Structure 1
Amino acid sequence: MDDENLLTIGALSERTGLTVKTIRFYSDKGIVPPTCHSPAGYRLYDVHALARLELVRTLRELDIDLATIRRILVREISVTEVAGAHAAALDVQIRVLRLRRAVLLAVAERGSNPQEMDLMHKLVNLSEAERHRFIHDFIDDTFGGVDANPAMVELLRSSMPELPDDPTPEQVEAWMELVELVQDNDFRTAVRKMAEYQAKERAEGDTTGLHHDLTETMCAEVGRALAADIAPDSASAADIVDTLTARYAETFGRADDDQLRRWVLERLAVANDPRVAQYWQLVAIINGWPPLPDLGPVFTWFGQALHTYLDKQH
């Protein structure tokens, strides 16, 4: 062996940037044994030992344990297998760190106390199935046991909040608020009444669905009235009421009369709970959807206009 190509432990330290103590440790553990010894007993290393040591250094920087490194060096497992496993583990660690960062930013923005911070941390670290359980429990409690509109129940179950792996503080805060909302007994009672009202309507023959077209028409007509600052008790409002009640009559197969208008007013009173709008807004924030239109002002204006019309009939 050409002694000129051998490196002392000090030279090896200079070449790799590792300390002499670290190299000696790897040598004593048999991970990077010396190639040979000098006549004076000093450890000497060739280029193969240098390459082996550099590989060990790289693997340790990737936080791979010595037992696994030893198996790689004796070719029990491949670098490819180890890299894949550690990349997957890092994905989990990165997700955890991102969640922690989002929780801390949300805590800072909300001015949370330690108890709320602890709760928030626990909620965001739940599995997806555990998070969905909050919503399913809410649906089971409010819609279970009554023949409510099945399209509404399906919409709720299919529109689950999906907290991303890298949530924003706003999404973490929205998730916290959503959990608080679906566990609120007053809100559950209000939604239960909506479900019971739907069941009563179905028992009386209403088998229609969610009426997206009707809602869009109402938003368009009332939206123009709101933009034009048309008062709900004005003559112009009466024309809008006529247009919309005609659409209701067509959709539900009913006569467009005072009885229909009282029925529409009753439906609006049941549906116009701002907490329902809050529920969908929070789901939209968590899922990264575009902001949803606020139907509260639309329902309120239309309800006032209907009240005005009906009052004038008496």
Structure 2
Amino acid sequence: MSDHTELLTIGGLARRTGLSVRTIRFWSDSGVVAPTGRSAGGYRLYDTEAVARLDLVRTLRELGLDLDTVRRVLARQVTVRDVARAHLRALDTEIRTLQVRRAVLQRVARHGSTTEEMRLMHKLARMSADERQRIIDDFVHETFDGVDPNAPGGHIAQAMRTMPAELPADPTPEQVDAWVELADLVGDEEFRKRAREMAVAGAQAGQEPLGHDPAQVAEHAGRAVREGVAPESAEGKEILDRIVDPDLPSAERARLADRLATFTDRRVERYWQLLGVLNGRPPFPSQAPAFEWLIAALRAHA
């Protein structure tokens, strides 16, 4: 060592760096900034390089790195760039989690909630986006397990497989409401059974509901719903004849009604609406009431 090398005590080092003596002693004991030597009286002595080393340690600690990681950086076992990338990912995850919790609290502040809703929202807020996504994946897997997506009518299962809910990490208030409702929906056993029934029926040859134009249903049956026209009335019969062939035999009308009923369910439609909200897609109006009216009219005039 050169005779001109300046050596500093812990007190001198504290004055140079602005750190407390206690902090420097702790980092020194941890092996992060080792002393260069000791004085005749046994006091620790540090060279001027310790000043720069302590500045780096302080910066890394303020960025959230633990001492073990700091020690590895200083020992050149890992680069600062690699550590920064890892901590950036961790910080992004923490930020997203806080954003979800904030959104949940905003929902509670807006609407208030029952004890059960609070329990569900607390559970959802603690989940990562991947964990929330897994709820949907598990539902889709259970509902469509064993259903061949290439079978006639199997597009229902295929569509739900290929359109997963990309649950947002930073949801809007509407998306929080949608997610709470969706999580409750897919957890309902009766809903799961109904979705499974539709999937199985859709995969069976000849089970798709044919003999009608969905656009005609939306236009005519939708208007009948809005205007309160009874399906069994004479006016209802006139509207029905605009949707299906007036000469369609009674047996065929009954079969069409049954097939439509298999694939018409407000809660299943709501599932798709909620997925749309979560994926940021434009909302679409409910078509289930129009199809329910058509089913009732087909049966009334069979």
TM-score (norm: length of structure 2)? 0.71
Q: Does 1:72 align with 2:73?
A: yes
1:51 is aligned to 52
- For residues 31 and 173 of structure 1, the distance between their equivalents in structure 2, rounded to whole angstroms, comes to 49
Deviation at 1:137, TM superposition (A): 0.9
Residue in structure 1 matching 2:164, options 154, 160, 166: 160
- For residues 298 and 241 of structure 1, the distance between their equivalents in structure 2, rounded to whole angstroms, comes to 11
Identity %: 40
Task: Sort the Cα spacing of 1:78 and 1:188 in 2 relative to 1 into closer, same or farther, 3 A.
Answer: closer
Deviation at 1:151, TM superposition (A): 1.3
2:241 is aligned to 242
Residue in structure 2 matching 1:231, options 216, 221, 229: 229
From the two aligned structures, give the one with the greater helix fraction: 1
Task: Sort the Cα spacing of 1:110 and 1:135 in 2 relative to 1 into closer, same or farther, 3 A.
Answer: farther
Residue in structure 2 matching 1:298, options 278, 290, 294: 290
Task: Sort the Cα spacing of 1:135 and 1:178 in 2 relative to 1 into closer, same or farther, 3 A.
Answer: farther
- For residues 198 and 73 of structure 1, the distance between their equivalents in structure 2, rounded to whole angstroms, comes to 63
Deviation at 1:19, TM superposition (A): 1.6
2:92 is aligned to 91
Q: Secondary structure at the match of 1:110?
A: coil
Task: Sort the Cα spacing of 1:226 and 1:189 in 2 relative to 1 into closer, same or farther, 3 A.
Answer: closer
Aligned-partner residue type, residue 158 of structure 1: T
TM-score (norm: length of structure 1)? 0.69
Q: What pairs with 1:252-291 in structure 2 (closer than 5 Å)?
A: 256-291=248-283
Task: Sort the Cα spacing of 1:269 and 1:88 in 2 relative to 1 into closer, same or farther, 3 A.
Answer: closer
- For residues 30 and 119 of structure 1, the distance between their equivalents in structure 2, rounded to whole angstroms, comes to 41
Q: Is the 8 A contact 1:281 1:291 kept in 2?
A: yes
- For residues 28 and 126 of structure 2, the distance between their equivalents in structure 1, rounded to whole angstroms, comes to 45
Moved more, 218-227 or 284-293: 218-227
Structure 1, gaps ≥5 residues long? 250-254
Q: Is the 8 A contact 2:107 2:173 kept in 1?
A: yes
Moved more, 171-180 or 14-23: 171-180
Q: CA RMSD in A?
A: 4.4
Aligned-partner residue type, residue 74 of structure 2: L
Aligned-partner residue type, residue 113 of structure 2: R
- For residues 85 and 196 of structure 2, the distance between their equivalents in structure 1, rounded to whole angstroms, comes to 49
Query: What do the CA deviations read for 1:240-269 (whole angstroms, capped 9, x no partner)?
Result: 4333214xx9xxxxx745544444333343
Query: What do the CA deviations read for 1:31-89 (whole angstroms, capped 9, x no partner)?
Result: 3356788999685653x433222111010112212232223223232211221222233
1:112 is aligned to 115
- For residues 199 and 31 of structure 2, the distance between their equivalents in structure 1, rounded to whole angstroms, comes to 72
Q: Is the 8 A contact 1:138 1:182 kept in 2?
A: no
Q: Is the 8 A contact 2:260 2:295 kept in 1?
A: yes
Q: Is the 8 A contact 2:143 2:192 kept in 1?
A: yes
- For residues 127 and 297 of structure 1, the distance between their equivalents in structure 2, rounded to whole angstroms, comes to 31
- For residues 132 and 89 of structure 2, the distance between their equivalents in structure 1, rounded to whole angstroms, comes to 17
Query: What do the CA deviations read for 1:90-128 (whole angstroms, capped 9, x no partner)?
Result: 334334444444555556643335754665467767374
- For residues 137 and 262 of structure 2, the distance between their equivalents in structure 1, rounded to whole angstroms, comes to 26
